[in-house]
Each structure stands twice: as C-alpha cells, then as structure tokens.
Amino acid sequence: MATPGLEQALTRPGLRPLPSAAAELLHDLDAPPRLGAHLRAVHDVAWSVTDRLGRRAPDLPFDTTAVLFGAATHDIGKVLHPEELSGPGHRHEAAGRDLLIRYGVPSYLARFAATHAAWESDEAGLEDLLVSLADKVWKGARVESLEARVAEHLGGAPWEAFLVLDDLVQDLAGGADERLAFQAAFPI
C-alpha cells in the first residue's frame, strides 16, 4: 500500500474537513501528512466545542470562524520546524504566526499559531483558550488550569460553569483513541 499523503490526511472520512482556506495553505506549503491529520483532529474537537458552547450560551463572545481557523492552522509552524512534530519545542509558534501573515492571513486569525500554548498568559482571550483546549482534548488530555480559565468565561455560578465544561470535555475526550489512531496513520 502506498504511504498515505497530505491529500488523504485532509480528505479521509472520519473527521470534519478543514476550512478550505486552511486546506489550501497546507497544500501550498506541502505540509507533512501527520501535520494535516493533527490539524483535522484538533479542528474537529474545536468544532464540537464551539457548537456545544454556542448552543448553551449564544451570547458568549467568541467568533466561531476564527476559532475554527485557529484550530485548523495552530501548528502550521511545524512545516518549518518538523522536529517539533515528534518532539517538544516552541519554535513553531511565532514561526507559524509569521508564516501565516506572509501568506496574507490577517493577524487576528494568524495569532492562534503563536498563542495556542500560552493559555496562562493574561492576554489569552476566550477564542485563544478554546483553541488551546481543543489542542489538549483531542488526545484526551485534561489540563485543570486551562479548563478553569475557560470556565471563568462561561458566566453563571462558577460550580455550574465548571460542571458544564467538565461534561463537555469528558464527552469529547471519549473520542480520543479514534483521533489518535487517525493521526498516527499518517507519516511525519
């Protein structure tokens, strides 16, 4: 069997398709298939998170299109730092934002590439936090400090916000094994 490539990573059924602008960019950059698959996994979770939160609280101040584009491109800097696809490192973050800007992406959409690991920063807003959350929950990881910051934005009684978010995250974490298998099927 031929090694699956980027096209398959972006089109194989099982996860929602990326926004077309993000998919085009990945093609233009000839991104590693594993990166395409990872971005689909995180985007899929971000889609579910924004859908569920948006239904529960339509007044929550986040732009779904921005969050989904952010999830779909957050690790794009790994095109330039592929060693960070399989190991730790933060060089892809600023590099990803700058790459997107060079491709004409407006900075309010490019920023997620730089902010997705910085949820403890005072500057992280709800949209940034939602991308960070999706980047953890796709693989079933729970990060208390991140979830607490998202819950703060949900309004209402803190215990209620915590329970709503806990329920949502638990539900989505249940699909982690399938997403991990999907991503692992594609080569770096």
Q: Which residues bind Fe ion (CB under 5 A)?
A: 75, 135
Element containing residue 78 per DSSP (H, E): none
Task: Let me know: does 183 contact 34? Beta carbons within 8 Å.
Answer: yes
Q: In angstroms, what is the minimal distance from the CB of 156 to Fe ion? A: 30
Distance CA(157)–CA(8), nearest Å, equals 45
> In terms of CB distance, is 127 or 135 closer to Fe ion?
135
Q: In angstroms, what is the minimal distance from the CB of 81 to Fe ion? A: 13
> In terms of CB distance, is 56 or 90 closer to Fe ion?
90
Element containing residue 16 per DSSP (H, E): none
Tell me, rounded to whole angstroms, the distance of Cα 99 from its chain centroid. Answer: 17
> In terms of CB distance, is 35 or 161 closer to Fe ion?
35
∠ CA 55-180-91, rounded to 5°: 90
Q: In angstroms, what is the minimal distance from the CB of 32 to Fe ion? A: 13
> In terms of CB distance, is 113 or 168 closer to Fe ion?
113
The two tokens of residue 138 are: 């796709």
Q: In angstroms, what is the minimal distance from the CB of 147 to Fe ion? A: 17
